[in-house]
Chains A and B, each alone.
Chain A
Amino acid sequence: MSPKPSPLPMKAEALALLTLVAIFLLAPWPNVQAVLHLLLVVGLAAQARSPLTTALLACAAGWIVEGTLRAVPRMGGTPLADMAVALVARYLLARAPGGRLAAFWSRYAVLAAAHGPLAHACAWLANGPHAWGWGWLVSLLTVPLWGTVAWRLQRRPFDR
């Protein structure tokens, strides 16, 4: 007998929307923006009710980041990477929803480490060589911070 679906994660989704707004407002501080971006993509979007919501939240986060940074002429690389990482994170969450905090930190760190090269690869595919910045390193170093927030908002059991 499969576990009963949990109630709607309104709290996480509301926080995701607020994070979207914060990402937009924090454009003058790209490193802080990168931390919230990873929190949304890896932590919050993966907990959405449906895969479509996950993809839409990640896509919106990617477009907001690229649109506010205006670092590349042809946008779209970061949303694609965000959707891919968010869907993978959602898949991992569905496969292994439980676990201790340290295990989630490790998972988030791996996803964050994969997100950086993937996003830059997609941006390189669309634009060619471009600047990298230090957001990927800041977000990787702050995994214990935003990873704890995402872990606390996690629904148990996860809605498959």
Chain B
Amino acid sequence: MKRRSAILTGAGLQRIAVALLVLVHLVWVAWGRGPGFLVRRTLGLLTGPSERLAQRWEAWRAARDQRLRGLAEAQAEIQRLRQALADAQVREAQAAPRLAEAEEAVRLLGLQHQLPLDLRAARILANTRNAPFGGLLVDRGRDLDLREDQGVIAPEGVVGRIWHVAPTQSTILPLDAYNASTAVMLGRSRATGVLQGTGPGRAEIRYISSQEVVQPGEPVFTSGLDRVFPRGLLVGYVSSVRPKDIELRIEVSLAAPLDRLHLVLLLPPSPPLELQAAAPPQPGSSPDAGLPRQAPAKGAR
């Protein structure tokens, strides 16, 4: 009884009231936003580090996947571009011969306009110059009324003459053939001689007196004395000069690229010795279409 009365005194009741007040607030605050709030909060605190670690792991994986996707797309693009480049190179390689032939045809057309002769074009079918008694085979023959010893020229220079005529094809004896002889003259001294073939792309001039002054690099033109070529068509350039007995041994590098010819022009039989003045260049003609160039007039020196 005494103890109960001690509790129920004013001070005791006040202490109880204070304790209840604090306890009610504590419960109210601790209850939070719901019965499971503290549990969730505690679990959240405990699992927070692992969740943050997992989030960083997932973010790293997502970034890596993104990089890998980007890399795969880039590699596929590179592969596609490589394929496109290879296709383009194949197309270019396929079109290169036709393009070269077209350019050659343009130059041939310009030459045909500049020379006042009845020129006819022919396509080279085969090149058998390296074989014994070989030559160039063209696709024109008796069907075009061709005859032996008609001159053959290209934009770069003289090619040779027709050696044999078949019904639909002809054989050309090139200038570098051992049995080929062409009447030529030197560009500066105007000395005339005979050009004889000595091998692929080369020939030498015979019957030039050792009294003549000949320098390497001097152009060599046709002289027209053989009645196969008119005077003044470019044959080649002097590559070396050596004295040999009473005449000079003059080696010539031929101007026409005999290995790379596709189209040639056929001169008419027995052309005139002198050509008329060249016609003015036609609009649209190639700038290289003046070949083979003609030698200057004799009085012009």
Contacts and interface: CB of A to CB of B under 8 A. Distances in A.
Interface stretch (B15-23, B96-104, B136-144, B186-194): B15-23
B29 A125 contact: yes
Interface of B: 11, 14-15, 17-18, 21-22, 25-26, 28-30, 32-33, 38, 41
Contacts, number: 50
Interface string A109-147: 000000000000010011110000000000000000000
Contact of B29 (A51, A52, A56, A80): A80
Interface stretch (A8-16, A28-36, A71-79): A71-79
User: Chain B's interface: helix, strand, loop or mixed, by majority?
Assistant: helix
B25 A76 contact: yes
Contacts of A76: 25, 28-29
Contacts of A51: 14-15, 18
Interface centre among A52, A59, A127 (most CB of B within 10 A): A52
Contact of B25 (A52, A74, A80, A127): A80
Given A74-B33, A125-B32, A79 B18 contact: no
Contact of B21 (A59, A74, A122, A128): A59
Nearest to B25: A80
A125 B30 contact: yes
Nearest to A55: B18
Contacts of B11: 50
A17 interface: no
Contacts of B32: 74, 125-127
Contacts of A128: 33, 41
A46 to B, nearest CB: 13
Contacts of B21: 52, 55-56, 59, 83
B21 to A, nearest CB: 5
A54 B25 CA distance: 15
9 contacts: A50-B11, A51-B14, A55-B17, A55-B21, A59-B21, A76-B25, A83-B18, A128-B33, A128-B41
